[in-house]
Amino acid sequence: MSTAASQRPNGLALFILPSALLFALFFFLPIGLMAVMSVLTGNPVVMPKVAFTMRHYVRMIDDPFYLEVIWTTIRIGLVTTLVALAIGYPLAHWMARIKSRTGHALLLMAVLAPMLTGIVVRTFAWMTLLSDKGVVNQTLMSLGLISQPLKLMYTETGIVVGLVHIYVPFMVLTLTGVIGRIDERLEQAAENLGASPFRAFIEVTLPLSLPGILAGSLLVFALAISAYVTPILLGGFQIMTLPILIYQQISANFNVGFAAALGIVLLIISLILVIAYNRALGLVSGQRELQ
């Protein structure tokens, strides 16, 4: 674009103002405050004499319990992302390639429909399915496949099941957009040159959809590690994740400083991922030229 256009004051630029204000007030300011709180000895609003300290971070590193919580959170995030990808990719591919308009509308409905129900309601639904006397265990026991109920609730498996159900639509929608933009004739060209349909997918479609895989995974991972309701209800405080820990520190222990430090750690994990995502996208550079 010409430099003249960018230098001239543009009236349309004013439309950015509301979102800029919103971001400053409700995004940068709170995060800044949180960062400050994480290195203070107390709350400056109620305690006039506060000093700088690193003790919240030192506590995290010294106590294996907190490292374990961080690792559990990341593990749940990773497993959720991988399962959501495995479920979401075929669905997204189907949606992107389906010829019939009605078929596409039905698939989209199926993907979006769960999002019309609140997370809490959906999580309670999973509790009725997964609990010891829930639908899954009752069915398996009446079929004689198991004698003891499987422990599905209050485990990481239960949490992952609930999280995958909630976040699969994000994965599917992100992937559908990217796969839909890949020219079908590229797959046909590969088949014409002797690649079986599966080989054509591996050689052409999969690498070209990598940006979508990365974007969808980033989104689902970030949402999964910051999830609160599902890990609490399906984990029943027996599985400790960072968001639950943060909540406890604030509401039960009134340790705002430590909670802030934990929040910063959660934020840094997400930031590292975003940076890694950008790097990875740069490496699959062929994709950029396509767009």
Partner 1 sequence: MSASIEIAGVSKVYDGGVRAVDAVAMDIRQGEFFSLLGPSGCGKTTTLRMIAGFETPSAGAIRVDGSDITHVPAHKRDMGMVFQNYALFPHRTVAENVAFGLRMRGLDKVTIAAKVKAALAMVELSGMEERRPAQLSGGQQQRVALARAIVIAPRVLLCDEPLGALDKKLRQQMQFELKQLQKRLGLTLVFVTHDQEEALAMSDRIAVMNGGRVEQVGTPTEIYNQPTTRFVADFIGDTNILRGERAGPNLDVGKGLMLALPPSEMQGTGILSIALRPEKIRLSPRGDAPIAAGSSAHGIVENTNFLGGAVLYRVTLEGGHRVLVQQPNAGTSRLFVPGDSATLEWTPADLVVLKD
Judged by beta carbon, residue 30 or residue 197, the one nearer partner 1 is: 197
Q: Which residues of 88-117 are buried (b: 16+ CB within 10 A; e: fewer)?
A: bbebbbebbeeeeeeebeebbeebeeeeee
Residue from 73, 217, 241, 287 in contact with partner 1 (CB under 8 A): 287
Judged by beta carbon, residue 55 or residue 199, the one nearer partner 1 is: 199
Task: Confirm or reject binding of residue 103 to partner 1 (CB under 8 A).
Answer: no
Count of residues binding partner 1 (CB under 8 A)? 24
Nearest to 119 by CA among 29, 231, 4, 208: 231
Stretch that binds partner 1, among 36-44, 47-55, 137-145, 279-287 (CB under 8 A): 279-287
- Give DSSP secondary structure letters for 204-260: IIHHHTHHHHHHHHHHHHHHHHT--HHHHHHHTTTS--HHHHHHHHHHTS--HHHHH
Closest separation in Å from C-beta 102 to partner 1: 12
Residues 82-101 that bind partner 1 (CB under 8 A): none
Instruction: State residue 196 phi and psi, 5-degree precision.
Output: -65, 160
Closest separation in Å from C-beta 185 to partner 1: 4
Judged by beta carbon, residue 110 or residue 189, the one nearer partner 1 is: 189
Judged by beta carbon, residue 39 or residue 208, the one nearer partner 1 is: 208
Give the integer Cα–Cα distance in Å for 240 and 254. Answer: 18
Residues 167-226 that bind partner 1 (CB under 8 A): 183, 185-186, 188-197, 199-200, 203-204, 207-208
CB atoms within 10 A of CB 136: 17
CB 123 within 8 A of CB 230: yes
Give the integer Cα–Cα distance in Å for 221 and 75. Answer: 10
Judged by beta carbon, residue 58 or residue 290, the one nearer partner 1 is: 290
Judged by beta carbon, residue 178 or residue 259, the one nearer partner 1 is: 178
Closest separation in Å from C-beta 69 to partner 1: 40
Positions touching partner 1 (CB under 8 A) are 183, 185-186, 188-197, 199-200, 203-204, 207-208, 284, 286-287, 289-290
